[in-house]
Amino acid sequence: MARVVVDVMLKPEILDPQGQAVQRALPRLGFDGIADVRQGKRFELEVEGPVDDAALARIHELAETFLANTVIEDFVVTVEEK
């Protein structure tokens, strides 16, 4: 069994109000030197069987159609072997 991680982030040209709110709050909380914050989503999928090219293609399709809004978000799929 393997874990496949899908990280979804807003595209760089899309405004990120949640990230901006966190970035503005950091100096008030004593965390200086952070120039920018972008918020994203992380999905961890436990996959039965081997993660071969067919399984990765299926997960890529899942991410593209269900986990990410590809108009405003990019995603990266990585495999974490256990």
pLDDT attached to residue 82: 65
CB 3 within 8 A of CB 48: no
Paired with 2 in beta bridges are 47, 81
Specify the pLDDT at position 81: 72
What is the pTM (predicted TM-score) of this model? 0.88
Give the three-class secondary structure for 81. Answer: strand
Is the Cβ–Cβ distance between 79 and 58 less than 8 Å? no
Write out the residue range of the structural domain in which residue 73 sits: 2-80
- What are the pLDDT digits (tens) for 15-66? 999 999 999 999 999 999 999 999 999 999 999 988 999 999 999 999 999 9
Name the domain count of the chain: 1
Question: In this structure, what CATH number is given to the domain that contains residue 71?
Answer: 3.30.1280.10
**Pair of tokens at residue 5:** 């991680």
